[in-house]
Amino acid sequence: MANVPEIFGSRVFNQQVMKKMLTSKVYKALKHTMEDGTPLNLDAANQIAEAMKNWAIANGATHYTHWFQPLTGITAEKHDSFLTPAPEGKIIMSFSGKELIKGEPDASSFPNGGKRSTFEARGYTVWDPTSYPFIKDHSLCIPTAFCSYNGEALDKKTPLLRSMETLNEQALRVLKLFGNNAKHVTTTMGPEQEYFLVDEKLYQKRKDLKMTGRTLFGAKPVKGQEMDDQYFAAIKPRVIEYMEELNTELWKLGIYSKTEHNEAAPAQHEMAPIFTTSNLAADQNQLTMEIMKKVARRHGLICLLHEKPFEGVNGSGKHNNWSIATDKGENLFAPGNTPNENAQFLLFLTAVIKAVDDNQDLLRCCVASAGNDHRLGAHEAPPAIMSIYVGDELEAILEAIKEGTEYGAKGKSKMSIGVDVLPNIPKDSTDRNRTSPFAFTGNRFEFRSVGSALSISGPNTTLNAILADALKQFADELEKSSNFEEDLNKLVKREITAHWRILFNGNGYDEAWVKEAEDRGLINYRTTPDAMAHYMDPKNVKLYTEMGIYTESEMQSHFDIKLEKYCQVLNIEVGTMLEMVNKDIIPAAFKYMNVLADTEFKMQRVFSLCDAGLNMMKKLNDLINELHIKAEELSSMHEKVKTINSILEKSKNYADSILPQMERVREVADSIEVLLGEEYKPFPSYEDLLFSVQ
């Protein structure tokens, strides 16, 4: 058994190590830099670099890398060894402050949405001292931001840091109005990461899993998740071994891996860490996904992070638990005990309600991807429609504020914010509705639309940005007020009334909700291109630029990159699908037909006819013909779509015509699969994949 306190953070250059390895003067300077961004002088940077290098070498590292998060959504690294030539053919191991602070990777192949031409491709990476360096394999990894020479963000970290800063500014303005003297607020994040585990040997036989991360074919197994016997069930030995090693690896990297359990679908599991500041949580979640995959291989397993690897059972998400805390440790999304604390909480709650309602489109955009589209709206994941679940108690309180009516049975008069104490909100009552995309869970919001494979930087940047915008509007108004309490009451009542439509405590998986949401005027963008078509709307450009989160050209590049990626994913899926039809499924079906025909021929010599054999051949023959025709149709439709120039048009075509045709192809192929004898099946079935890891 691992000695957890001993190994925890052993691969991290954390504060404890810093304290030990740096002079107290340099340690203090670094702490200032970490806490309020005070620039470091070169002498201090040199000393820090030297300490980092010595610590890294003592822990087996030979290289260092600036570790960053380009817009691909995964992490990038380019390793340099500490090695420097010295006289007499010797070497010394060196690492300078300059090398620590800034790097210049040749980054011409990263997507940049046309922001840099190849000839000026050099972006640069800048050390982010708020996230600890760590050792991975033989390299010291230094978390960095990645920018172009004119300062535009080419990564996902920079905007997240900007959004945290902007939210800090606006939240402090609001807190000041309540006499709250917090000096700083930070957003916190706890991402619950869902994943599937499949046997590597089976995986290798599935072109679709290998090339696209999801199954493009597969008849439903006789048993799926309908028995509800997987959720929280005892974990199988092979999976436990995996989880144990995963935990150990994560703990070494200072990641607070806390909860592990089986999820609803067979072969589906979850890991939830203890929350931390958003920036660190985002870095750590990227690392977690990488380690999850790596450790799986050591156990002969493959970890699938795709949002919908299997049709007919639940897909995987990444519940994004989000809150704001002050430097004094006060959680601003937690109802308080005094009228003043409650008033402050209600204003922040109102700001979230307004932010989500005003920016449904941006929230949908920030979780949009080809993979996640299969999950949102599949009657098992939060729908593509944004709404907020606040629980019955809180909704009743909000309703009383809106209507100016009495709340509760205890003879209480009308709620006057800032005067009355909020009635107790039982914690467990806020976490009942698992179908809501955005749920208040007692002291935080849980944004559940985030896909399992997605970087959480984007969604958290959006959450922080839209909340900062709402708080700004409130602060602008209330700072001018001469009667704060009265104007606060008016504002909260007005805003709750204006955004009442976004509150929904019912079943988000229900088809009736789609209709009701439409009646309420809520947005339902089912696909990535539907959502992204609104990304550059003037309202959104205004919000992001005014809040200092993205420039318009950065947004334009997100738009291009997201849709390009969407088309690339679909392009690969279509290619893989056609290959599997032509190379795996049809040949397997013919092989089986051949046996049937052979048998039939022989049987006819003995008997007159074999009805069963003839029927099966006929059925199979019809299906093979149909599959062939549908696949040809898909192929020619795809050729046409490939020639479309506009990226939006092209992605729309993929969404609206290619995907449905892929479904048709799949349907026929799946009908063939169930007819084939076990030894003739072209690749491992759903049953094999979902139930083989014991």
Least distance from ligand ADP to the Cβ atom of residue 460, Å = 10
* Binding segment toward Mg ion, per CB under 5 A, in 191-199, 510-518, 553-561, 660-668: 191-199
Q: Which of residues 167 and 676 has its CB atom nearest to ligand ADP in the complex?
A: 167
Q: Which of residues 288 and 661 has its CB atom nearest to ligand ADP in the complex?
A: 288
Give the residue among 164, 171, 182, 187 at the shortest CA–CA distance from 444: 187
Least distance from ligand ADP to the Cβ atom of residue 273, Å = 6
Give the residue among 560, 552, 567 at the shortest CA–CA distance from 112: 560
Q: Does 157 bind Mg ion (CB under 5 A)?
A: no
Residue 311's binding partner out of Mg ion, ligand ADP, none, with CB under 5 to 8 Å set by partner kind: none
Give the residue among 464, 456, 478 at the shortest CA–CA distance from 548: 464
Least distance from ligand ADP to the Cβ atom of residue 281, Å = 8
Q: Which of residues 192 and 249 has its CB atom nearest to Mg ion in the complex?
A: 192
Residue 323's binding partner out of ligand ADP, Mg ion, none, with CB under 5 to 8 Å set by partner kind: ligand ADP
Least distance from ligand ADP to the Cβ atom of residue 72, Å = 25
Report the alpha-carbon distance of residue 167 to residue 182 in Å, rounded: 14
Report the alpha-carbon distance of residue 602 to residue 581 in Å, rounded: 30
Least distance from ligand ADP to the Cβ atom of residue 444, Å = 4
For 21-179, strand residue ranges (E) read: 63-68, 76-81, 83-86, 90-93, 102-103, 124-127, 134-136, 139-147
Q: Which of residues 160 and 555 has its CB atom nearest to ligand ADP in the complex?
A: 160
Region for residue 500 given its phi and psi (left: phi exceeds 0; alpha: psi -120 to 50; beta: otherwise)? alpha
Degrees to nearest 5, angle at CA 329 with 130 and 480: 95
Residue 189's binding partner out of ligand ADP, Mg ion, none, with CB under 5 to 8 Å set by partner kind: ligand ADP
Q: Which of residues 401 and 456 has its CB atom nearest to ligand ADP in the complex?
A: 456
Between the CA of residue 528 and those of 160, 304, 371, 569, 600, what are the distances in Å? Answer: 22, 21, 10, 12, 50
Partner residues linked to 318 by β-bridges:
193
* Binding segment toward Mg ion, per CB under 5 A, in 220-228, 313-321, 382-390, 560-568: 313-321
* Binding segment toward Mg ion, per CB under 5 A, in 223-231, 315-323, 471-479, 497-505: 315-323
Residue 127's binding partner out of ligand ADP, Mg ion, none, with CB under 5 to 8 Å set by partner kind: none
Q: Which of residues 201 and 427 has its CB atom nearest to ligand ADP in the complex?
A: 427
243 within 8 A of 270, measured Cβ to Cβ: no
* Binding segment toward Mg ion, per CB under 5 A, in 190-198, 415-423, 543-551, 632-640: 190-198
Give the residue among 159, 161, 523, 147 at the shortest CA–CA distance from 365: 523
Q: Where are the alpha helices (DSSP H) in 299-448?
A: 339-358, 360-366, 370-373, 392-403
Report the alpha-carbon distance of residue 347 to residue 174 in Å, rounded: 9
Report the alpha-carbon distance of residue 52 to residue 96 in Å, rounded: 10
Least distance from Mg ion to the Cβ atom of residue 368, Å = 21
Q: Which of residues 173 and 261 has its CB atom nearest to Mg ion in the complex?
A: 261
Q: Which of residues 161 and 596 has its CB atom nearest to ligand ADP in the complex?
A: 161
Q: Which of residues 431 and 687 has its CB atom nearest to ligand ADP in the complex?
A: 431
Q: Which of residues 208 and 446 has its CB atom nearest to Mg ion in the complex?
A: 446
Interacting residue with Mg ion among 319, 499, 650, 666 (CB under 5 A): 319
CA 125 to chain centroid, in Å, comes to 23
Region for residue 522 given its phi and psi (left: phi exceeds 0; alpha: psi -120 to 50; beta: otherwise)? beta
Residue 275's binding partner out of Mg ion, ligand ADP, none, with CB under 5 to 8 Å set by partner kind: ligand ADP
Report the alpha-carbon distance of residue 136 to residue 287 in Å, rounded: 10
Q: How many residues bind Mg ion (CB under 5 A)?
A: 2
Q: Where are the alpha helices (DSSP H) in 479-610?
A: 484-498, 511-520, 528-532, 538-546, 552-579, 586-606
In single-letter form, the type of residue at position 558 comes to H
Least distance from Mg ion to the Cβ atom of residue 187, Å = 17
Least distance from ligand ADP to the Cβ atom of residue 260, Å = 10
Least distance from ligand ADP to the Cβ atom of residue 186, Å = 10
Determine the 3-state secondary structure of 568 from DSSP.
helix
Helix axes 611-642, 552-579, angle to 10 degrees: 150
Q: Which of residues 206 and 448 has its CB atom nearest to Mg ion in the complex?
A: 448
In single-letter form, the type of residue at position 243 comes to M
169 within 8 A of 468, measured Cβ to Cβ: yes
Least distance from Mg ion to the Cβ atom of residue 263, Å = 11
Indicate the residue whose CB is closest to ligand ADP: 190
Indicate the residue whose CB is closest to Mg ion: 319
Question: Where on the chain is the footprint of ligand ADP (CB under 6 A)?
Answer: 188-190, 192, 259, 272-275, 319, 321-323, 331, 431, 443-444, 446
- Residues near Mg ion (CB under 5 A) are 192, 319
